[in-house]
Amino acid sequence: MSAASASDLLDDNGFWNLTLLPVLHRMIEDGRYSLERQAQVLEFFRKSVGPSLGPEPQLNPVTGRRLPSWRSFVTDDFTPFEPSLTWSSLSPHPYVKFSIEAIPGIPGDGGAIGATSSVAHLLAQRHNMGIQFDLGAFNQVASLLTCTADCGILTSECLTGDTGPTQVMFGFDLGETTTQTKAYFVPTIRAMETGRSKLDLIASTIQACGVGTAWEPIAEYIRSVQDADPFLLAMDCAPLDDARFKAYIRFPTANLDVILRHASLGGRISLSPKFVEAVRALWECLPHDDASTLEYRLRSQTSGGTPIYFSMKRDAPAKPKLYVPVRLLGSDDHQVAKAFEKWMTQIGNVEAGASYIQHLKKILPDKDISCTTGCQTYIGITAPNDQDIECSVYLNPKVF
């Protein structure tokens, strides 16, 4: 299928396809993807992703704005779709990733659990679209971290507080020929149902899946840090003996030195000099007053603090990835984008540094980034090895 015919994929009348497919299309056009691969990705989204995002949101008759029917954990305004761009240190062309939450439709269709199960079974049948998804591995982890039914908790405390009803989200890493799938489990509801802590649920799941050796120093450190919040466990939807798991911990600080100590698990794992230098350079580029501490000026449904994930595989040490919640800095998106361009140039990716703002405006043409806050949600940084830095920007198209 040619790139020109990819526009035909917008013929579907679904609200989410009409709203989000153009965003994804503009992102992959400038990525590392052949025309054939672009068409395959768009067809997958139209047939398998867009229809899973729930019914068309209603309009507020006074403001004319869309009203979310579900408090999705994916973004602060409850848009159930978060795309991202990821660069290696020297590549000007990013890979594209995106995360979604399956939103329940009409009453009686199985609710959130039914919507999640439907997407999982659909993904297991999409090998012809380049999708890699192990349904058995997903089901095993889901059985340990989610409620088996939509219980009364979902319509009481969660829907009225900051928690939200989300239990599972799906992620898609768009490679040049295949799509690696991930599942993100929010154990809050299962913890409320069982009376167990989120840390206990995550720990027992990791042990059951055979990656306990990498988990032990993480658990030891988390238990020593007051107010550390283990809020998410992610997995590659691959056979468990080869799957990577990621434990997401939110630390209630914006102090750089403290964050680096957390990233090293208090010295239990080593951080590459290149990673530390890149993190410090990012801090200097971001708009803030203090040289070592950012100020998170805004609240969000996921609260303040700095998330770090620690990736784990069997017989491999944990690796950290730091997420800076730039949406909470109180700066407009143009300021954040300028800081990102400056940072990318400083760490050696000159071409990406020179083109990012132009790329962002192309992706979100209906947003005046000098007047918006939160279209860029996080800047992520990790070191896949001692010689490379991987940089990510996470976006919110802000449907609501």
**Whole-angstrom distance, CA of residue 239 vs CA of residue 232:** 20
Whether the pTM exceeds 0.85: the reply is yes
Looking at residue 289, its pLDDT comes to 62
The answer to whether residue 208 sits within a structural domain is: yes
Strand blocks (E) in 259-365: 306-313, 316-324
The answer to whether residue 121 sits within a structural domain is yes
pLDDT, one tens digit per residue, over 219-247 is: 999 999 988 999 999 999 999 999 999 99
Listed in sequence order, the DSSP H helices in 195-234 are 198-208, 212-222
The strand pairing partners of 390, in sequence order, are 88, 382
In this predicted model, what pLDDT tens digit does every residue of 275-327 receive, in sequence order?
999 999 999 999 776 655 677 765 555 556 899 999 999 878 899 999 999 98
Q: How many percent of the chain have pLDDT more than 70?
A: 88
Is residue 400 one of the residues assigned to a domain? no
Task: Give me the domain span that covers residue 180.
Answer: 3-395
Helix (H) or strand (E) holding 233: strand 229-236
Mean pLDDT of 202-207: 96
**pLDDT, tens digit, for every residue of 320-375?**
999 999 988 878 999 999 999 999 999 989 988 999 999 999 999 999 999 999 99
With a cut of 80, say whether residue 95 has pLDDT above it: yes
DSSP H/E element including 43: helix 35-44
The region of weakest confidence among 94-108, 200-214, 260-274, 350-364 is 94-108
Bridge partner residues of 320 (DSSP): 310
Domain count, the chain: 1
Is residue 274's pLDDT more than 70? yes
The reported pLDDT for the residue numbered 9 is 41
Query: Contact, 9 vs 43, CB < 8 A?
Result: yes
